Chain A
Amino acid sequence: MKTPQPLPQNLRPPLALLERLSNAVGVSGDEEEIRQIVQKQIRSFVDEITVDALGNVLAVKHAADPNVTRVMFAAHMDEVGFMLVQEEGEGSFAFEPVGGIDERQLLGKPVQVGKERLPGVIGSKPIHLCTAEELHHAVPQKNMHIDLSPGCASKAKVGDFATFATRFQRNGDALFGKALDDRLGVATLIELARVNPGNLEILFAFTVQEEIGLRGARVAAYNFQPDMAFVVDSTPAFDLPLVQEDEENTQYNTRLGAGPAIYLSDAGTISDPRLVHFMVKLAEEHHIPFQFRQPGGGGTDAGAIHLTRSGVPSVSISIPGRYAHTPILHASLEDWKNTLHLLNLVLLHASRSILTPDR
Chain B
Amino acid sequence: MKELIQKITQIPAPSGFEKAVRDFILDEVKPFVKETRVDALGNLIVRCGEKTKQGRSILVGAHMDEIGIIASHVEKNGRVRFSNLGTIFPRYLPGSRVRFLDGTRGVIDSDKPEDLTKIQPISQFFIDVGAESDQTCPIHAGDVAVFDREFMDLGNRVVSKALDDRSSCALLINAIQQIKTTPHELYFVFSTQEEVGSKGATTAAFGLDVELGIALDVTPVGNLHGVKLQVDLGKGPAIKVRDVGHISDSRVVNWMVAGAKSLKLPYQLEVLDIGTTDARAMQISKAGMLSGALSIPCKYVHSPSEMIDLVDYEQTLRLLVHLLSNPINLEK
Give the interface of A toward B (CB within 8 A): 248, 250-252, 264-265, 270, 273, 276, 292, 294-296, 306-313, 355, 358-359
- Is B76 in contact with A248, judged by CB distance below 8 angstroms? yes
Docked complex Cα distance between A308 and B39 (Å): 13
**Interface members, chain B 37-71 (any A CB < 8 Å):** 38-43, 70-71
A130 to B172, CA, bound (A): 68
CB-CB under 8 A from A264, the residues of chain B are 70, 141-142
User: In the bound complex, how far is the Cα of B15 from the Cα of A264, in angstroms?
Assistant: 12
- Check A294–B141 contact: CB distance below 8 A: yes
Cβ-defined contact, B38 with A358, below 8 A = yes
- B83 lies within 8 A of chain A by Cβ: yes
- The answer to whether B41 and A359 have CB atoms under 8 Å apart is yes
Q: Closest chain B residue to A265 by CB distance?
A: B70
A294–B42 touching, CB < 8 Å: no
**Known A292-B142, A358-B42, A359-B42; contact A250-B199, beta-carbon cutoff 8 A:** no
Residue in A250, A265, A358 whose beta carbon sits within 8 Å of that of B16 in the complex: A265
Complex CA gap A65/B128 in Å reads 53
Question: What per-residue 1/0 map shows which CB atoms of B180-205 lie under 8 Å from chain A?
Answer: 00000000000011001001101110
Could you tell me the distance between the alpha carbons of A265 and B199 in the complex, rounded to whole angstroms? 14
Residues of chain A lying within 8 A (CB to CB) of residue B17: 273
New A-B contacts (15) at CB < 8 Å, excluding given A265-B70, A265-B85:
A248-B76, A250-B123, A251-B123, A295-B70, A295-B72, A295-B82, A295-B83, A306-B41, A306-B199, A307-B202, A309-B206, A309-B207, A310-B204, A311-B41, A311-B202
Distance in angstroms from A304 CB to nearest chain B CB is 11
* Chain A residues, Cβ within 8 Å of B199: 306-307
Contact A313 B85 (CB under 8 A): no
Report chain A residues within 8 Å CB of B202: 307, 311
The CA of A71 and the CA of B48, in the complex, are separated in Å by 34
Question: Please, which residues of chain A bring their CB within 8 A of the CB of B83?
Answer: 265, 294-296
Cα A155 to Cα B200 in complex, Å, equals: 50
Complex Cα distance, B75 from A265, in Å, reads: 20
Which one of B15, B17, B72 has the highest number of Cβ atoms from chain A below 10 Å of its Cβ? B72
- The residues of A that contact B16 with a CB separation of less than 8 Å are 265, 270, 273
Interface residue SS majority, chain A: loop
**Bound-complex Cα distance A90 to B144 (A):** 58
Is B246 on the interface with A (CB-CB < 8 A)?
no
Q: A250-B81, A251-B123 are in contact. Are A310 and B141 (CB under 8 A)?
A: no
Taking CB atoms, residues of chain B closer than 8 Å to A296 are: 72, 83
A310 CB to closest chain B CB (Å) equals: 4
Are A310 and B207 touching (Cβ within 8 A)?
yes
B residues touching A (Cβ–Cβ < 8 Å)? 15-17, 19, 22, 38-43, 70-73, 75-76, 81-83, 85, 123, 141-142, 192-193, 196, 199-200, 202-204, 206-207
A311 — which chain B residues lie within 8 A by C-beta?
Answer: 39-41, 43, 200, 202-204, 206-207
B87 to chain A, nearest CB (A): 13
Question: Smallest Cβ distance from A335 to chain B, in angstroms?
Answer: 18
In the bound complex, how far is the Cα of B70 from the Cα of A147, in angstroms?
Answer: 47
Query: In angstroms, how far is the closest chain A Cβ from the Cβ of B154?
Result: 34
Closest Cβ–Cβ distance, residue B118 to chain A (whole Å): 20
Bound CA–CA A250/B196 (angstroms): 24
Closest to A280 in B: B142
With both beta carbons as reference points, the residue of chain A lying nearest to B203 in the complex is identified as: A311
B73 engages A250 (CB within 8 Å): yes
B284 to chain A, nearest CB (A): 12
A140 to B82, CA, bound (A): 33
Let me know if A294 and B72 touch, CB within 8 A: yes
In the assembled complex, the Cα of A308 lies from the Cα of B72 at a distance in Å of 28
Q: CB-CB < 8 A to B70: which residues of A? A: 264-265, 295
Complex: A250 Cα to B207 Cα, angstroms: 41
Give CA–CA (A294, B122) in the complex, Å: 14
**Which of A248, A276, A308 gathers the greatest number of chain B CB atoms within 10 Å?**
A248
Closest A residue to B198 by CB, please name it. Answer: A307
Most interface-central of B17, B142, B196, B203 (chain A CB within 10 A): B142
Chain B residue numbers with a CB within 8 Å of A306 are 41, 199
- Min distance, Cβ A291 to any Cβ of chain B, angstroms: 9
Known contacts A248-B75, A250-B75; A359/B141 CB under 8 A? no
